Structures are given as structure tokens and as C-alpha cells.
Structure 1
């Protein structure tokens, strides 16, 4: 393994170094950096040209300029741009903005895309599978600038206007309820009468819930409350026990998960004074305490026989319950935040509200309001790729001989899917994830343009517009380096996903 990593590092470094030469030469020939200086009045023209020439070393050959840049870059100094601004400072601000923009989008797209792809493969050729396939092709074909513009109109302007009087019309309630009912019925693998019952129950339940939200004006002052937190935590405990805890027939993992859910629900009431004045450090400390308590709880309740199953079930349940409590606190601060920003909580420009002062929860809502639309735009486009690749990979693996052998040996369907099909089906998806993360770190240029974010994409466009190679090279260092790094991580992950692969 170590030999493989060293060899890959050496080869990647050579390829990366050669590519920087090509990118530098190309970036110096995009546009004349002196074009604007030549358009100045005669009394200022000569001085401006001389200043830019000296700053950018335009009197030197291209290769000499490249080696001057490389010498400074090795020392961590990326130089200055055409206007004399530090490229290091520009890169720092752009990179932090890009991380803020794309991190949530990448995580959501990967988790949702893989989950939907797995479900679609398990329900091959059903109404759910055909619906997912159709939606995936539609989203994959949509131009991102058009999606972003529609989101700004309907989820920002119209939604903000609707919040002034948040009443839900009966036709909207009926339409959403029918869609939810159809979605729930498509997830059931039973016979037609069972699906009809699920459809009717889900439709009625959703209609009742939306009617309550409308009459109580819940969207103006949203909150979950202890009852909803408790029900959600218990549902999470059961779900995580089924997924990673060996199933509901194993009592110790289920007990550990349910106790973790109960402790998390109780903590939302007991820790109310601390949560009112919370900071990021407080949340991290509470998360660490939650993790330690859940591990200890599963360790003692699971015993030697069930410990390996109880620990992940309890930990996931505890962290999930903490996330529900966190969401409840955010929602409880929504009314005050909305009032402080003039009733326009969903923003369309920039990463935050300038000079905004508020509590930790209100600052969180401010970040969410600015991130919601660009994140959703990126998720909708990326989701289609993950869904289709996961479905195709899962279907290919499900037809392999070793999967049929696992079923013939008497393994449960859950064990066959999680231990054999999903694990081996993730190998192609690992490559896609590695490449996607590397490219997204380079910025979402179109999305940044539509939503007014000054991030990595804007750094690249700024360098191209004025013919300045320094910002372009800074952009390429981060993007190219990320692609090389994450592809290496993907290669190493192959050996853990498939023991037949030996990197040595």
C-alpha cells in the first residue's frame, strides 16, 4: 500500500507539473493584459503600461515568467494580480466561499443520489423506478442557469411574498397530498390492495397535516416541539436498528437506540438555557458528549454478542436526535430572523447579509437562507448522475453469481444487499464521487454568477477577462490538486470495498 501511494504521488506530481506549464502558456495568450491601459489618455497611458509590464514581467519570455511564478509558488507565494492585489488573499476568500457553497450540495447529492439509486434498483421496472428514471433524465438535461433562475422566482420571490400570509390553498393541499400518497404507495412492495391502503392513508395524513399548518400559520412561526422530536427520534431509532443494528429481532441494539432517542429528547428540555445562548463550540461539545454517551450505552447494553451491532445503531440514533433538536432550535428562531431581514428570509444574492447581528441560531438561518437556492440548484443537477450510476451499478452486481450464492446460503435479503451488492456496487460510484468533489472545489461558475457569489469560479473568470495568469494559476492549483488527491483516495478506497483488489 505504501509503495503504491508513493508511486502514485510521484507520477501525479510529474503530470501536475507538466499541466501547469500548459495552463500558464494558455493563460498568457487569452487576452492582452495591456488593452485597458492602452485606452487611457496619452498622459496616463505610458505610466500605466510601464507599471503593469513591471508587475506582470511582460518584458520577459513566457517560460521565464513561468519559472518566476513556480519559484514563488513553491514558497507559498502566488504573487499579485494585474492590479497589484495579493492572489493569496483572493484565493483564501474565494476558496472559503466555495467550500461554504458546495460542501452541503455535494453531501446532499451523494447521500440522496445513492439512496434513491439503490431503492430504484431494488424496485426495478416498477412505477417508482420509472418515475425516478424520468426525473433523473429531466434534471440531467436541464441547464443550471435556467434552474437557478426558476428557483429565484418561485422559491425566493414568490415564497417570501407568501410568508406574509402563509395560507395553503385547498387545490395545493390536494395536489401535494396526492403526490405524497403516490410516492408512499410506490415504495411498498406488496400487492395492489396493500398499496391502495398505503396510498389512501398517506394522502389523508398529508392533507390533514397541511391543513393544520395552514390554519395554525405554522410557516410564519415554525417549531417542532417535544412531541414531534420524541416521535421523530423513536422513528430514527427503529430505522437505524433495522439498517445497521441487525434488525428489530435483536433486542439489545434496539434498546440502546431507543434509550439514546429518549435521552436526546429529554436533553432538548433540560439543556434549554444552554441552547438559548449556544455557540459553535457549545454545539461541538454537545456532539462529542452525545457520541461518548451513545458508545458507552451500546457497550454495556450490547454485551459481547451484540456490541458490534448496538454501537452504530445507538450512535446514529443519538446524532440524528441531536440533529432534530438542532433543527427545532433553528425553526424556533425563524420568526425573529424573518422580521429582522424585512420578511425576506430566502435570499438570492451573496453568502450572507452584510453587517447582520443576531444570535447563533439567527446567523445559522441567515447562512441557510443564502445557501438554500444555490445548493438546491447544484443538487438537482448532480442528483441525476448519482442516481443513474448507482442504479446501473447495483443492477449489474445483483446479477453476479456470488449474489445468487449468498441468497442460496440462506442469508437475509438485508445482509445480501448491504454486505454484497451495495459494497461492490459502490466501486464505480467511488470514482464518480472523487471526480465530482475535485471539480466542484473549482467552483460552480454559472451558479456563482446567478446568485452573486465571489468564489473560485469568479476568481477564474476575473483572470480570463483581463488576461491575468496569476488568478488562473491559483485556481488551477486548487482544482487540479483536488482532482489528483481525491482520485488517489478513490484508488485506495477500492481495496477496502473489494478485497480482491490489491494495490501492491
Structure 2
């Protein structure tokens, strides 16, 4: 009952905030210029007729509050699932423009947000654990560098090196032996800094990574893997098994054999299912993939429940995560196996303009690759700044929590460092991080306006810019409504997360 009352109160406050902000946005938009400016300068013989038509369409003869009320009344029909967002000054219904624009922007922003949360929080935890190490100093420097990057300048660099030069290279992907050795050495240095430990451990990590990466690059070069890549069922199963062990170690520790066996059984069931479903996965659709994901989650939970014994809840949780990771690996393997056919259709795979290739003739996976490659550069651009912010806030929050008495008590009781970090420190450190994530989502939507402009995406940013330039309120208000509702929903999710993380907040 307390939770429902808490959520209802937050929804009511959010609605009032959205209503007041919409009034302010509408007034600012209609006073941003003259909607008839282009026609006043026209030399057309029917200039007056055109001005009269636009005046009628936009309702310019009505007072501003009447126009706002008409827009608000149309939007209120959304409660009856009959939304009316008005028409542009050219008489085009905003309802017909909004779905594609919103889908384009949300696809970009949601993906960037998820990447920023996962990577930023992980880096923040690692730097807090490895405070004042070389890894901490380098990460701090890079975080401040990325946080201060001008978006438009970084976008130009990404276009040059991530699109134009990559497209040139992928046409004939050659790596010199010196480049392979340097790549292996660079990744080895990064990994040994993350793993840490004594000098001997660092040298082992550096050497093994160097040999493995260099050998893999020589193999890829020999078999032309960069143009005809694939993982195969064996690699998918091995990678999923590694993920199962890692997730088990983080959640319960490897001493809990039932949870570990549940995760590994999930991998085996997933591998057998992949072999059986290969003909279906070769050319599926989104409904089939969604159904298979639901089935994978159901089977994972069943395996966790059967193996769990006294610890069914955590066994089901670990099995579900393992099943989800394996589903991602299977999808990744399918995309890689269709990379060669995608390159045949689109020799220069990463375009610098647009969110997809018009009239693209490929099948399902080729179409996914086309849209996915177009997501890479703007997603990286949006995610970099957020990763920098998330990592700094996570580090600060973790360091503050790890200095508390209850964390020192947990260590004094003899709990493992894993249990101290995951069960005691991280959960309490999540409360301020949740606030930052919610606000950052709204900031990302605002930043997407510039990013879409640079990369030529026809999303909400283009609609907002055009409406503002033409002093046309309906497109601008549609942008405000979608982004405002999304921001408010994220803040509502954050409030609910507070109540889950700390039950005292519910009161």
C-alpha cells in the first residue's frame, strides 16, 4: 500500500510539472520569430493567398491561450488512445511524422544509455577498488578528457577514422606483423592494469594476453576473418560458459556449486537449442526472436529452479543472466555469419549520413547489420560523455560507502572481498548513481539533437530544429512531449529504485 501511494504521488507531481513545462515551451516557441517571415519576402503573385492559408492552418488569428488549449485538448485524447498532436504549417499531420522520428531517436538514446550504465558503472567500481593505482590515474584522465570533448569535433573525428578510413580498410583488410604485435601489446598493458596484483602477476597477464591477441590476429589475417567472420557453436558455448562462471563468482561465489551447475546447465541447454534452431535463426523476424528470448528466459529459470535446492532464487537469477548473455552471443554469431553477404550488398558498410540505407535489399540479418552499423558512431559519441560521468560518480560513491563502519564490520567478520563489494558496498552506492542515470537520460536526449544533426539522422532532433526555425509549435511540442515524458518516466523509475534500494525512502 505504501509503495502504491508513493508511486501515485510521484505520478501526480510529474503530471503537474509536465503541464507547466508544456505551457512555458509553447509560449517560448510562438514568440521565437515570425511564422510568415518567408512568405512576406516572397515575390509570388498569390503571396497574400498563401499567407491567408498558413494563417488559417496555424490558427494565427486566435489568441495564444486558445491555440495552446487546442493543442492540449488534442494531446489529452491520448488517454483515449486517440492522440492528436496537431499539424505542421504545411498541413502535414504530426501524428504521421512522430512514430518514425521517435523510434529513431529512442533507438539511439536507449542504446547509448545502456552502454554508458554498464561500462561506466563497471569502470567506476574497478577504479574505486584500485584507488590511486596506475589504472585509476589513466581512467581519471580519460574520463575528464571525454567529458570535456566538444560533440561536433568528436563527431568529425569519428566520421574520419570510424567510417571513411574503416571503409577503405575493410575493402582489403591487411594488418602488418608489427601492427599485430603492437595491438597485442596494447591490449596486454590495458588488461594487466585492470587485473592488477604483484609484478609477477602483471607480467603473466601481459605475456598471455600479448601472445593470445597476436596469435588470434595472425589467424584472422590468414583466414580472411575480417571479411568472413563467424564464431560457431563451440566458441559461443565456451564464451557463455566463461560468462556463467563469472556471473556465479560475482553473485554467489564459486563455492555455491548448485548455482554454478545451474548456470553451466543453462549453457548446455542453450548450445543444444542453438543447434536445433539454426534453420529458424538463419532468416527470422523480430517476433520469432522475441519469442525465442522469452523461451530462453523460461528455460533458464526452470534450470535454476531444478538445480537451486535451498538457494533457488539466486540460482534462477544467475541462470537467467547466463541465458540472456548466451542469447546475445547467438544473435552476435548470426550477425557475424551474415557479414560477408552484407559487404557484398554494401561494400562501404558504415555511412556517415543517415540511420539506415534507403531501399536496402538484404534479408533480416543484413538489414540488422545495416541499421546496426549506422548506430555505431552516434552511439559511441553519446555514450563516451556519459561513461565518463557515470564512472566518476560511481567511483566517488563507492569510495564513500567503502569507508563506512558497516563495510569495515563486514570485512572484520571474515566475509570475502566479493561479498563485501557486491552485497554491502555496491547496493548502497547505487542510490546516488541512480539519480545521475535518470538525469543523464534527459541530457542524452538533448545531446541527441546535435548528434542527429551531425550524422544526418531524421529523428526527434530534426523535427525540433525544423519546427523551431519555422516557428511552428506542433513539431516542437511533439518533441517536448516525447522527451519530457521519457525523462519523467526515467525519474519515476529512479524514485521506485530508491524505494527498492532503501525502504526508508518509501515513507
Query: How much does 1:39 deviate?
Result: 1.5
Matches within 5 A, 1:175-194: 175-194=182-201
Query: How much does 1:42 deviate?
Result: 5.1
- Kept after mapping to 2: 8 A contact 1:299/1:310: yes
Of 256, 266, 288, which aligns to 1:282? 288
Matches within 5 A, 1:297-446: 297-303=303-309, 305-341=310-346, 343-441=347-445, 444-446=448-450
Counterpart Cα distance in 2 of 1:16 and 1:220: 50
Counterpart Cα distance in 1 of 2:362 and 2:44: 52
* Secondary structure at the counterpart of residue 281 of structure 1: helix
Counterpart Cα distance in 2 of 1:103 and 1:15: 23
Counterpart Cα distance in 2 of 1:8 and 1:295: 33
- TM-score normalised by L of structure 2: 0.95
- Kept after mapping to 2: 8 A contact 1:441/1:482: no
Query: How much does 1:443 deviate?
Result: 6.5
Query: How much does 1:441 deviate?
Result: 4.3
Counterpart Cα distance in 2 of 1:39 and 1:164: 50
Aligned to 2:80: none
- Kept after mapping to 1: 8 A contact 2:180/2:217: yes
Q: Deviations over 1:39-67 (max 9, x none)?
A: 22252211111111111121222223222
Counterpart Cα distance in 2 of 1:475 and 1:325: 36
- Kept after mapping to 2: 8 A contact 1:28/1:467: yes
- Kept after mapping to 1: 8 A contact 2:113/2:441: yes
Q: Return 5+ residue gaps in structure 2 as ranges.
A: 78-82
Query: How much does 1:174 deviate?
Result: 2.5
- Kept after mapping to 2: 8 A contact 1:94/1:454: yes
- Kept after mapping to 1: 8 A contact 2:283/2:365: no
Which stretch of structure 1 is more off in the superposition, 416-425 or 268-277? 268-277
- Kept after mapping to 2: 8 A contact 1:233/1:265: no
Counterpart Cα distance in 2 of 1:281 and 1:22: 41
Matches within 5 A, 1:441-460: 441=445, 444-460=448-464
Counterpart Cα distance in 2 of 1:115 and 1:79: 44
Aligned to 1:79: 86
Aligned to 2:218: 211
Q: 1:42 to 1:240 in 2, by over 3 A?
A: closer
- Kept after mapping to 2: 8 A contact 1:72/1:78: yes
Matches within 5 A, 1:223-238: 223-238=230-245
- TM-score normalised by L of structure 1: 0.95
How many pairs were matched up?
500
Of 485, 489, 505, which aligns to 1:502? 505
Q: Deviations over 1:272-296 (max 9, x none)?
A: 2222232222222222222222222
Aligned to 1:165: 172
- Kept after mapping to 2: 8 A contact 1:81/1:470: yes
Aligned to 1:60: 62
Counterpart Cα distance in 1 of 2:475 and 2:96: 11
Counterpart Cα distance in 2 of 1:120 and 1:227: 34
* Secondary structure at the counterpart of residue 45 of structure 2: helix
Counterpart Cα distance in 2 of 1:248 and 1:311: 15
Which stretch of structure 1 is more off in the superposition, 130-139 or 290-299? 290-299
Of 122, 131, 141, which aligns to 1:124? 131
Q: Return 5+ residue gaps in structure 1 as ranges.
A: none
- Kept after mapping to 2: 8 A contact 1:241/1:253: yes
* Secondary structure at the counterpart of residue 506 of structure 2: coil
Query: How much does 1:133 deviate?
Result: 0.6
Q: Deviations over 1:437-475 (max 9, x none)?
A: 234345701110111111111111011111112211111
RMSD of aligned Cα (Å) = 1.7
Counterpart Cα distance in 2 of 1:187 and 1:443: 31
Query: How much does 1:135 deviate?
Result: 0.8
Aligned to 2:148: 141
* Secondary structure at the counterpart of residue 56 of structure 2: helix
Query: How much does 1:222 deviate?
Result: 0.6
Which stretch of structure 1 is more off in the superposition, 7-16 or 345-354? 7-16
Query: How much does 1:398 deviate?
Result: 0.7
